[in-house]
Amino acid sequence: LKMAVSALLFAVSAVMVVSAKPFFPPGNVIIGYAPSCSPKVVQDAIQGVNVINWFNIVLTTDNNSRPVVLQRNMNFTCIAEVARALKDLQLPTAHMVTIGGWNAPHPTNVLTGKGWWELFEDWNRHVVAQPHLGFEGFDGIDWDLEGNDNMTSRWNTFAVDTLDIMGEMSQEGRRRGYYASLVPAQSYFDTTSSRFTRTLTFGYQDFHPDFQYHGYNPFAYVYSRYRFADKAQSLQTFEIMDVQIYETWSRANFYINYKRMDPADYLTWNIRSTVDGWPVQFSEDPSVNYPSQNVSVPARNLVIGFAFGAPDGRSVFVWPSDVSRAWAALPTAYQPRGVMFWNMIMDGANANGTAVPCYMARDFNAFLHARN
């Protein structure tokens, strides 16, 4: 999810106000990213999307080293009008906000995870919310921290503090009734590898080794260590683990386009591997102080992320009909909660460098029934 970030700064202030309870669909989900606010977002929500990830914000510091929320020119009036239109249509929809994106800075330890949540919640209630339109702000946060084009950038390594902030901030939000999702590039949550590192500048020796922006399971650490938000381990921190199989020259791309594996067969294999779990060697990095162990995601928390491909083949494309075949081949206990796609504005455009349009919201909904 690569997009330039421009700025509006907001620092901590003000007193909390009472807001409506955050919402997340209890059943199947179709998650769509909205990099801008337009009627197309409403159209896709009508056709199937029931979770909108509004893109994007970053958590950073200003020139005076004060913690701030930095946003990408979001039009909160427009977002509130979209939310109201969907309410009027009796289409329950979650509105999440994405933190990060390619080339975006990562949150640092100027605040604790709890402190970052308090900053975010204050901003959400006093800047984002539009009470006169019946919009109380975002229902939660979606973590899309990634690397940077500049190979020497500090953001090509996840600091331990950053990974812990992701987990602790999400736990705090969940305890307050909000929701959190993780949306790793596939190499950041990769069932085919037991390696663990916080560095994001690796290439695959067997597949386009010139591309040097892969990682090895950093999001697996966040998910595993911070999986629960309570001591009783009854409250899941992350409502959704949403894996971007369309990462540039991803493992999905390797198997589907290079090894010529049937896309439905690949998806069923990958999904089973994620639900059953795989070992991750967290002890390879003593700085995280976390033992090696198996990582698994319950099917009800798992989402597979898709995109519209690329003419040069760098981003794998899977037709919704192939995704439907995979779902049909899986036992109910292994069927994921749903799908995600990047992005809603592109939906209905020609796919993967062809002259054939792809309607993801509509065609995913045909078998997931996120909307009746």
Pairwise CA distance, residues 307 & 31, whole Å: 12
What was the pLDDT predicted at 73? 80
Backbone angles phi, psi at 345, to 5 degrees: -65, -30
- Is residue 4 scored above 60 in pLDDT? no
Cα separation values, 27 from 23, 174, 227, 339, Å: 12, 18, 20, 12
Cα separation values, 336 from 113, 139, 241, 307, 367, Å: 29, 21, 10, 17, 12
Pairwise CA distance, residues 350 & 260, whole Å: 22
Give the DSSP letter of residue 65.
S
Helix or strand or coil: residue 46? helix
What number of other Cβ atoms are within 10 A of residue 17's Cβ?
Answer: 11
Cα separation values, 76 from 7, 108, 141, 370, Å: 15, 26, 16, 25
What was the pLDDT predicted at 19? 52
The pLDDT tens digits for 54-75 are: 999 999 999 999 999 999 889 9
Report the range of poorest mean pLDDT among 8-22, 26-40, 219-233, 268-282: 8-22
What was the pLDDT predicted at 13? 33
What was the pLDDT predicted at 372? 86
The pLDDT tens digits for 179-210 are: 999 999 999 999 999 999 999 999 999 999 99
The pLDDT tens digits for 148-181 are: 999 999 999 999 999 999 999 999 999 999 999 9
Query: What's the mean pLDDT in 126-151?
Result: 98
pLDDT interval class at 43 (50, 70, 90): very high
Helices 320-329 + 360-368 axis angle, to 10: 20
- Is residue 18 scored above 90 in pLDDT? no
Cα dihedral 326, 327, 332, 337, rounded to 10, equals 120
pLDDT interval class at 3 (50, 70, 90): very low
Pairwise CA distance, residues 290 & 148, whole Å: 26
What was the pLDDT predicted at 72? 84
What was the pLDDT predicted at 6? 35
- With a pLDDT cut of 70, the percent of the chain lying above it is 95
- With a pLDDT cut of 90, the percent of the chain lying above it is 94
* Dihedral over Cα of 99, 102, 104, 110: its sign: positive
